[in-house]
Chain A
């Protein structure tokens, strides 16, 4: 079910009414749990089996980690939980990639049948949530903390309900944000209708739906031309503009989804972490990764980069860690070597930037240096998105060849016109953030409540007037 489906709005209304009908943690979590399972199972009910098994695994193992009285069983249960979660992810997500690379299954063979199982939607997110739960509980116990991240010690049925809820909460179930167990469990409790922060809910939902329905869905109608053979008919300059548009589209699609998820969670009294903080104003690659898909960056940093030693084991090891973590992060996005190369591309950029950190280019605060740094980051990031748009290397090769071949072709004005109409609001969204956080003297005081309200009103009307044909969220495939 998509957040843009009509059925979803019916489900939301019914869930909301039932949720606040009665107070009490058990009732409210129960309502959200049922709604979440219905939301997940709506199109493909059989996927519920895998989700339930995965949730049961995380429930049992995390409970055992929590209850273990000594280090050995605690470590054993944590390892079992993490390894099985990773195996589930590997089997259902990376089976085709591994089989295509290392095995050759004949049609009709059992392996071929297994490979035909479609990718369960949201698997990358709920397995990462499960791993986060296990590691958070394990670390808290290892440190001898009396208070577990799960809250006070509970009986198994109560722990089961809470863990299933954490793993399946519908706003974040399919495409995040990835919320850590230690941040989510303490929020579980009885919620009151009077405590809903309506303005915050409205703001997140309006900006989220605007980015998704108005910007991303309409840009999708323009950016399909990057795919060969459509790209053959476009001039190089047109294609470069379309690539910029894809950069904006993928941001709008995913940031839009995250904001909708955040707004929906707030409606039920839960705070999900920010996932995007104006990433396209970044002047360095490391800054970019503190602004883009922040919940995944934080997950990789806390559970992979730091355990590998982070930047504490010398320069060489730091570069290696960066390359490894980013490559793994790339592979997390999709079961294809193009995603691994995309990760490596970013890892190389991060390592290179670290190497050149002391140079004038990175230390200067002059406007020209800042502009150049911004242009470099935006260009490298945008070129990297080609591997997301075209996971087949042959398509990438053909697109690159077309850039060269069509450099003298006539420029089409329709491309910048249509793309500009959708890219401008996103550029303005980033610029407004800059103006609000660091206003020039002449504009100080311009931004106030009424201006923001009016702007949100215009965005709301645009959602009604200019929503594009709904397309699946790009990150659903991950």
Chain B
């Protein structure tokens, strides 16, 4: 005799329905996830939920990803993708149908193309439609992300990961120096910049202004090939007489956790500069 499937299905439905009801009524939001990948997705889903109210969108890599939302302000969405690059954010803005006034593009990491799996899973039907109505389908409300959020609230900590000690920072900066000393793959860089130019043109055609910025990094990296070449190529393709360029700098040189990711204090400072210069960028046109 076959064993019945009913207990399995009944339990699954009950657990799912109970959890869905709980998160739908929960009086809190979950801004960060268990991993960078989940936080990328949470931010992108949050952007889709409020895209009509957003005036400025930042796209970029993990360098921009770490800028604090509190300094950027509620009308700025940070669509930078940790582990990815600006192209993914640009494609999300283009394909999601949003119309912010200004999109600011980071040019530090141009070697990474569009993360198509990420964009697809964000925008495809029926998930996108379900997420707008039911929290249970949003990444932030996954049980582990919720538990993670609960743990952070209980312990009153935003981030459990300790800041690395100075000798580790030096070691990581050395690794970055080695990586960035190499000549970047110029063909790949130019192909990605060409893709970026197409996306930028499509956004401009919809009346969206596009500006650019380079995130400050450790002073020892500034003149290395891996930073100089993308800077030069981006500046040639998006000249400052046709595009708005933000000028971000940390007085006395940036302090970082690993050579490229800013310390909490410097990230706040740069976020503030972006907020200030973005408004000037909009009025300059």
Contact = CB atoms under 8 A, between A and B. Distances in A.
Instruction: Answer yes or no: do A and B interact.
Output: yes
Interface of A: 197-199, 202, 206, 218, 221-222, 228-229, 232-233, 406, 409-410, 412-414, 417-418, 421-422, 449-450, 453-454, 456-458, 460-462, 464-466, 469
Interface stretch (B157-165, B214-222, B273-281): B157-165
B8 A453 contact: yes
Dominant SS among interface residues on chain A: helix
Contact of A466 (B2, B13, B143, B175): B143
Interface string B254-280: 000110000000000000000000000
B165 A457 contact: no
Contact of B2 (A199, A221, A222, A410): A199
B38 A461 contact: no
A457 B10 contact: yes
A229 B176 CA distance: 10
12 contacts: A199-B4, A206-B8, A232-B164, A406-B168, A409-B168, A418-B35, A453-B5, A457-B10, A457-B15, A461-B15, A461-B16, A461-B19
A221 B136 CA distance: 21
A233 B16 CA distance: 38
Nearest to A456: B8
Given A222-B35, A417-B148, A457-B15, A202 B168 contact: no
A418 B11 contact: no
A221 B175 contact: no
Interface in B147-189: 147-148, 151, 155, 160-162, 164-165, 168, 171-172, 175
Nearest to B155: A413
Contacts of A464: 12, 16
Contacts of A460: 8-9, 11-12
A465 B136 CA distance: 7
A283 to B, nearest CB: 32
Interface of B: 2-16, 19, 34-38, 41, 117, 121, 136, 142-144, 147-148, 151, 155, 160-162, 164-165, 168, 171-172, 175, 257-258
B160 A417 contact: yes
A469 B44 CA distance: 15
A232 B167 CA distance: 10
A225 to B, nearest CB: 10
Given A222-B35, A421-B147, A469-B121, 7 more contacts: A206-B8, A221-B35, A412-B160, A418-B34, A460-B8, A461-B15, A466-B142
Nearest to A217: B37
Contact of B15 (A202, A409, A450, A458): A458
Contact of B161 (A218, A414, A422, A462): A414
A367 B105 CA distance: 62
A453 B13 CA distance: 13
Nearest to B160: A414
A221 B12 contact: no
A414 B152 CA distance: 9
Contacts of B171: 229, 232
A308 B34 CA distance: 50
B15 A221 contact: no
Given A229-B175, A465-B136, A221 B34 contact: yes
Nearest to A408: B165
Nearest to B147: A421
A221 B160 contact: no
Contacts of B2: 197-199
Contact of A465 (B13, B143, B155, B175): B143
A280 B226 CA distance: 45
Given A198-B2, A418-B144, A233 B12 contact: no
Contacts of B147: 421
Contacts of B8: 202, 206, 453-454, 456-457, 460
B37 A465 contact: no
B144 A232 contact: no
Contact of A421 (B16, B36, B144): B144
A221 B38 contact: yes
Contacts of B37: 221, 469
A271 B41 CA distance: 40
A456 B7 CA distance: 9
Most interface-central of A222, A462, A465 (chain B CB within 10 A) = A465
Given A453-B11, A457-B15, A412 B161 contact: yes
A374 to B, nearest CB: 28
A421 B151 CA distance: 12
A265 B135 CA distance: 36
Contacts of B7: 449-450, 453-454, 456-457
A414 B19 CA distance: 24
A218 B34 CA distance: 9
Q: Give the 7 A-B CB pairs with smallest separation, nearest first.
A: A457-B11, A453-B7, A414-B160, A221-B35, A461-B15, A460-B12, A199-B3
A371 to B, nearest CB: 30
A1 to B, nearest CB: 14
A417 B159 CA distance: 13
A404 to B, nearest CB: 14
A449 B144 CA distance: 28
A450 B5 CA distance: 10
A457 B15 CA distance: 8
Nearest to A451: B7
A409 B144 contact: no
Contacts of B143: 462, 465-466
Contact of A233 (B5, B151, B258): B258
A456 B11 CA distance: 8
A454 B12 CA distance: 8
Contacts of B13: 461
Contacts of A228: 175
A109 B157 CA distance: 58
B19 to A, nearest CB: 6
B109 to A, nearest CB: 16
Contacts of B14: 457
A47 B128 CA distance: 35
A301 to B, nearest CB: 34
A462 B175 CA distance: 39
Nearest to B167: A405
Contacts of B168: 232-233, 406, 409
A413 B160 contact: yes
B30 to A, nearest CB: 14
